[in-house]
Structure 1
Amino acid sequence: MKTELLHKIIWGSLCLLIFASKVDAGSLRDINNILLAEQNIREDNPQLGQLVETFLKNQKRVVDFQSSGLDNNEYLRLIECQVRAFASCQDKVTGAIIDPVYKIEWQYSTPCYALSIGLLAQTGYLKDDALVKSGIKALDCSVSEMHENRCAHHHGEFFIQPIMLAMDLYKGLVSEAQMIVWHEKMAEIDPYVLYRDNLKRKKICYNHNVVALAGEYLRLKKGINDHKDFFHIHLEHQQQYMSDFGLYIDNKTNPPMVYDEFTRQFMASILAEGYNGTFFDFYFRKLCLGAWTSLFMQSPYGEVPTGGRSAQHIWNEAAAAVTYEIYASQYAALGKEQEAGAFKRAAHLALRSIGRWIREDGSGFIVKNRFPIEVMHGYESYSAQSQYNLLACWLMCVAYLYADNSIKESPSPADIGGYVLVMKDVFHKVFANSGGNYVEYELSGDPRYNATGLIRIHLKNSNPQLGPSDGIPHKWDNKKKQDLGGELYAVGPEWQDATGGIHRLAEYTNILFPNTSCFSAYRGSKLPEIDVRNIRQSVGGVAFEVIYTGRFDGVTQISQRVYIDHTGITVRDILKGNVKKVRACYPMLINDGMEETKIDFQNGKVILQSRDGQICFQAISPRNATIQRKQKRISYRNGYADIAYFESDKNVIQYKITTGF
């Protein structure tokens, strides 16, 4: 068995040397060429192609760009903080990582921990024999759990890639005999038995299956995978879930934004590792589109879009960093410094975002708030302190492995802006940015996670969570799959109809790609029309208008026109219909779990201050409006919110959001 296994490993390595087209990059792993010079993005997606071309022209005109000052060592620093925090959580007998809150091994924490220590040791960043031994014990535990089909919470799909990468990193740290034992065990895995997400069990396989494919390809490379059909059958299956923007569609309706980025980086890693088979042409084109789309969706604070389940978790930005590093290295290898620098900048913005959420013990707040970890505020039913912090470490390890530290940052779309990205597809979003002032607009919210309307505002030189950084959704019991009701809010209009009833645009969720199990206040016999008009796109400012036409409880048309420039965001709401009053509502973060927001009401405006920034919500029309608050304390991802508002007896209302300076 041992001789046969060694022959397989050697033959797999030779095949890679013969057939793979290598990128000459400064990354720790060999990266294969996944960009073809002849791809024309405009032909594959005209809107995106135009945005890319305009961005590259604008990028050349930037004269005062300041680098983040980060390099690849920031990955290692953040990873070391985390593993030192979780070292004390290791079971001394089994080697498993025990979650500090749930007090059990939670999903895939253990292999992520092992991979993280392997990278730190192999790079020479970590010189701690006790911690290295801890990593070896965790890897041995993880391999045995896979081999014996007893992965925690049946998450074997999430074990395979970190284990395969870790085994490469532990070469020289363990004996050859130990390495052979691990390879033998990994060679005996049957993916159809170990992984729940496969086509023998299901008709539809989403992100879990792609996670497995990334690891299964590494087994193919090693020559220790006798189930080659599993990889090829499922890679073919996954093609149907790629959108016209190159994003991964993780659900038929209301797909979560973060499971696009998460899944897509695994696909990119498969190509980067050397896959050049039947489906290469499809994936290289789609993934390149997705990589560029993700640049235009990134906020100036490095955050990936909010929207859907698992949003605003610390690992979201780590997943994005993998994509950014892969494409930075790819463009650098082609001699395209502009593109490479933009992707490197995006990776460092993502890293900086992660760094904002490190706790005193070195672990992270896994959701973007600062509540004690035992409170689990804003968590999903499957979120845990160990697994999601160590997932961030896993992804940062992968980003580091593909990163070329010689690439210099250049301005990214998040820095420059000058664009409006409209996606009226199943993701139903609009992203717009002018000079680092940024918005995300939800055209048709999923009430379990997001309201409809203007849900995110990130202004430069502020605190992004004050923005607001998300709207306010319904309360949702994910275990029981039950909508518990509540109030839906975004930045936008509220009105009183002729009978005195109160309604908000935010409540008309689930209207573009309806899911009958989800709430919507809309009662029209046919779905409303949603029109997005791109008014202006330039470095000096951008503007777009969203128009809803239908039956909205006394209103037949709702228009929100959004202007963005260097001063901030100006919004004009126009309602057509029989209404008594119109209000402009603004969700205010009043407590982030650790600190109360300072709130100062002045003439016609309210100023919020928290940590390193402030935001001002100001009434423009009517001129003499008084800003009030609803005296609420509504729970949402970032903490607790109250609602600031002002009124008008006309059907037009205008307001501005700035940093207040």
Structure 2
Amino acid sequence: MDRISPTFIPAEIGSRVLATDGWFQTVIAAVEGQQMLVQTSVNDPYNVPGIVRIQQSALPSLIGPSSAGHADRGFTGFAEGDIFPLSYTPAWQTEDGKWHSLSEGIPGTLEFDRDGGIDPQDGGGTVQMEQSSASDGATDFTLLWKGPFPGVREIRTHYRQVPGKIEVAYELQGNIQNVGALIPLMAYDGRERSVIHHVMSAGKETESIRVEYAGASLEVIPTTEGTNVVWPEELASVACRNGLLKGARLECEGNRISFIIRLPE
């Protein structure tokens, strides 16, 4: 029998599992040693939409973070903290001055059935995979979300991942004052607290975020000019399944915002 030649598994060369409905609502994209997970259901109180998990072999498993904040305490599994839907998602300020986010989803009309799944048409929202590609060392995909969302007709989210870096861009269509991005940060795992830095770059008038936890670090760097880092009071201590999150919100004028999540290479 001929010897079987060694070859790469999909996770080592760039892979993705794509689906956008209420019964299989997860996008998993991987490059060598690194993975991100995006939930696409907008009417499921258990699976909050947006990037809900980032993991890399060189990082502590929870720093990404590895779970989102939920809208229902029964899903968090952690006794402390406030209940608030929190993940890497677009945010926006409507003309009445109120801030909203894709993490809030769309309220459904049917009783939640965790085992049976969610009807993707309940509530009226839709999600489409506009484009996706995977090659050696990179994954790239774009999702189109359609409401009803407060003040917004549609949201386009783009993700490009290479080892050590995830590039994220959001574009919103609707009547909004400002655009933003929610940033979930690992704060406390029940034993160890992280150190979260709001970094101001001297002379460049730019801001960024750095999280130090369990001997490792993760950075969130805005790439849209004029972006500010804001710390909403309601996101100061948010419960998730693995501990407490602290949320930041990137804010800028216009309808488009982008940032980089930088991981160790």
Higher normalized contact order (CA 8 Å, seq sep 6+, divided by chain length)? 2
* Residues in 2 aligned to 1:529 and 1:542: alpha-carbon distance in whole angstroms: 23
Q: Which residue of 2 aligns with 1:627?
A: 229
Identity percentage over the alignment?
21
Q: 1:516 aligned to 2:110? A: yes
Q: Could you tell me which residue of structure 2 aligns to residue 655 of structure 1?
A: 259
Greater strand percent: which structure? 2
Contact 2:106 2:125 survives alignment (8 Å): no
Name the CA distance, whole Å, in 1 between partners of 2:109 and 2:4. 43
For the residues of structure 2 that align with 1:476 and 1:585, how far apart are their CA atoms? 20
Partner of 1:606: 209
* Other-structure match for 1:430: 27
Does 1:588 pair with 2:185? yes
| Code of the aligned partner of 2:230 | Q
Show the counterpart of 1:617. 220
Instruction: Measure, in 2, the Cα distance between the counterparts of 1:475 and 1:334.
Output: 56
CA distance in 2, matches of 1:561, 1:658: 16
Change (3 A) 1:460 1:570: farther
Q: Which one has a bigger Cα radius of gyration? A: 1
TM (normalized to structure 2)? Answer: 0.82
Judge conservation of contact 1:456–1:469 (CA < 8 Å) in 2.
Answer: yes
Specify whether residues 552 and 334 from structure 1 end up closer, same or farther in structure 2 by C-alpha distance, changes over 3 A only: farther
Structure 1 segment 91-490 matched on structure 2, within 5 A: 338=6, 411-414=8-11, 416-425=12-21, 426-444=23-41, 447-477=44-74, 486-490=83-87
**1:572 corresponds to:** 169
Is 1:636 equivalent to 2:230 in the alignment?
Answer: no
Check 1:477–1:466 CA distance in 2 against 1; reply closer, same or farther (3 A cut).
Answer: closer
Instruction: Write the distance in 1 (CA, Å) between the matches of 2:96 and 2:112.
Output: 26
CA gap of 1:435–1:525, structure 2 versus 1, over 3 A, is closer
TM-score by length of 1: 0.34
**Against the structure 1 CA distance between its residues 624 and 501, is the aligned structure 2 distance closer, same or farther, given a 3 Å change threshold?**
closer
Contact 1:556–1:577 (CA under 8 A) maintained in structure 2: yes
Residues 87 and 182, structure 2, Cα contact 8 Å, conserved in 1: yes
CA–CA separation in structure 1 for the residues paired with 2:46 and 2:60 = 22
In structure 1, stretches of 5+ residues that fail to align are 1-332, 339-409, 479-484
- What whole-Å deviation, never above 9, does each CA across 1:195-215 have from its counterpart, x for those lacking one? xxxxxxxxxxxxxxxxxxxxx
- Give, in angstroms, the shift of residue 627 of structure 1: 2.2
Q: Closer, same or farther in 2 for the Cα pair 1:595/1:453, shift >3 Å?
A: same
- Structure 2: segments with no counterpart, 5+ residues: 76-81, 114-120, 201-206
Question: CA 1:527/1:464 → structure 2, altered by over 3 Å: closer, same or farther?
Answer: same
Report the CA distance between 1:542 and its aligned residue.
1.5
Query: In the TM superposition, what is the alpha-carbon distance from 1:605 to its structure 2 partner?
Result: 1.0
Distance change >3 Å, CA 453–CA 473, structure 1 → 2: same
Distance 2:30 2:15 in 1: 6
User: Which of the pair is proportionally richer in helix?
Assistant: 1
Amino acid at match of 1:502: W
RMSD: 2.8
